[in-house]
Chain A
Amino acid sequence: MSRKEQFVLTQEAFDRFLARLDPDREQAGKIYEILRHKLITFFRYRDCPEPERLADETVDRVIRKQGEEEIQEVVPYVLAFARRVASEAHKKEPVGPPPLEPSPEGWERQLEILDGCMELLPPEQRALILDYYQHEKSRKIEDKRQIAAALRIAPTALRVRAYRIRRQLQECVLRKLNGTAEER
């Protein structure tokens, strides 16, 4: 194993990295989470295997580099590093477990949880998201226009509003899924 592969991320090095993102630790944590998601998106759409692992590997390697060289702007530096990691990843075999397909067990579990999360929404939001997705089935742009007109908002605003509610639901489901996993 090479010296580089033996690098172990310490709390101190990670804290230094967070401090570069923002002096306020809480804010830095939020920025880090977004940055990690952007990295996952980046690797996913570069068609790399294991985008989550590559995102973490990129951050680890940037943290290691911050001790060795001066980093002016963290985010562009992270992106530049990610490109290098992506290029390497295409030349290597994936090291993680074999990929999995979405499964009926997966969505059925989420459906159970989603029911509960839906109940937590204010009634008007619940009605909006259900209407929106029921009409999604019909594919009719006209249907969307009607919902938007009824709410007195532009169709674009309706799309954004539906997406925000959807994201809220998705976060709720994910939280509960993770909670269940932790309980086990």
Chain B
Amino acid sequence: MQTESGSDDTLIRYLRGELAEAERDRVEELFFADDQLYGRLQMLESQMIDSYVRGRLPPDQRDRFARLVRNSPEQRRKVEFAEALRRLADRQAIAPSRRPWWESVLGFLQARTPAVRIALAAAAVALLAMPVVYFQHARRANAPVRQAAVPQPRPAPKSPDRTPETPPQRTVPVLAFVLSPLERGGGEENRVVIPAGESTIRLQLNLEDGQIEPLSATIRTADGVPVGEFSGLKPQGAGPGQRAVFVSLPSSRFRDGQYVVRLSHVAAGGSPELVGGYGFRVKRAR
């Protein structure tokens, strides 16, 4: 949580329960008397809730906050809302375009009837639910169409797919693939075709049981050479009745060949338990 003023700092310390009694009493008097200050306190509280759902509060803060949440149905609803918003934003991040493609098309055609929207949304959901790999075009290819479709373009191009590893202002296409567990996939081979050039590979690992967390994922070649390791993964909604975890890594990590993903859960003090296995073959375009 960033602070922009001394007043924010005091309010944050109030929320964290770090103020001495007299100082706490003073803050209470101030926010009871001043609606604007109370609004500010609520804003800082919502940021704290966001930090809580993203697991960013230090352990002592987290424990205290968890107790406050348990004590209050209102706070519980706020936490559930923050979790829903986080998941919605994360889900949107999987798409390479800033706006859903169907929305751009709708904007372009100016056909915003509910029936058309529902039909297109259903088509998008069906695409996401496909048990085999899907591929979405790089953002560069879509950009001119989107610009033409949106009457008032967004002020500046920004990269919603940007990961912390990629420098700002660069446009790296994100290629998203859906993988089903090997048992359920029925032996179909998932093929991942990576075009030439730099891109980010985002894998959606569909789950049989979405309630287990946290999860760890390892990606290895068929020979056992590690390609990527991820821990602390939380299952997210990935379409109607489907839950999945998402991992992203640069396309440069992959060569032509077979890859295996192992998804595990480590219970407190226990050994890793395999939750699912996934396989896919990579073919790099020359």
The stretch among B71-79, B134-142, B273-281 that forms the contact with chain A is B71-79
Query: Out of A45, A48, A51, A115, which one reaches B14, CB within 8 Å?
Result: A45
- The verdict on B230 contacting chain A, using a C-beta distance below 8 Å, is no
Q: Dominant SS at the A interface?
A: helix
Q: Taking the complex as formed, is B9 at the interface, i.e. its CB lies under 8 A from any CB of chain A?
A: no
A107 touching B83 by the CB < 8 A rule? yes
Residues B84 and A141 in contact, CB atoms below 8 Å apart: no
A131 CA / B162 CA spacing, docked (Å): 11
B43→A170 contact, CB < 8 A: no
Range class of the A interface residue count = 35 or more
B35 close to A (CB within 8 Å)? yes
Evaluate whether A104 and B211 lie within 8 angstroms (CB atoms) in the complex, with A111-B237, A134-B89 already known.
yes
Q: Does B31 contact A (CB under 8 A)?
A: yes
A131-B158, A134-B93, A138-B163 known; A45-B84 Cβ under 8 A: no
How many residues in B have their beta carbons less than 8 Å from beta carbons of A? Answer: 64
In the bound assembly, the distance between CA atoms of A156 and B43 in angstroms comes to 12
State how many angstroms separate the Cβ of B68 from the closest Cβ of chain A.
6
Chain A residues, CB < 8 A from B35: 34
On whether the beta carbons of B162 and A138 are closer than 8 Å, the reply is: yes
Task: Return A162 CB to nearest CB of chain B, in Å.
Answer: 9
* Inter-chain contacts of B67 with A (CB < 8 A): 47
Asked if A49 and B71 make an inter-chain contact with CB atoms under 8 angstroms apart, the answer reads yes
| Complex Cα–Cα for A156 and B89 (A) | 21
Residues of B within 8 A of A104 (CB): 211
CB-based contact A38/B155 at 8 Å: no
A129 to B92 alpha-carbon distance, docked (Å): 11
Task: Say whether B17 contacts A45, CB under 8 Å.
Answer: yes
Question: A44 touches which one: B43, B71, B88, B99 (CB < 8 A)?
Answer: B71
Task: Provide the B174-208 mask, 1 if CB < 8 A to any CB of A, else 0.
Answer: 00000000000000000000000000000000000
CB neighbours (8 Å) of A37 from chain B are 38
Complex: A178 Cα to B38 Cα, angstroms = 24
A: residues with CB less than 8 A from B are 34-35, 37-38, 40-42, 44-45, 47-52, 75-76, 78-79, 83, 99-104, 106-111, 114-115, 118, 123-124, 127, 129-131, 133-143, 146-147, 149-152, 156, 159-160, 163, 166-167, 169-170, 173-174, 177
A143-B162, A170-B81 given; 13 more Cβ-contact pairs under 8 Å: A41-B38, A41-B42, A41-B45, A47-B67, A76-B32, A79-B28, A101-B69, A106-B80, A124-B154, A134-B93, A136-B54, A141-B2, A163-B46
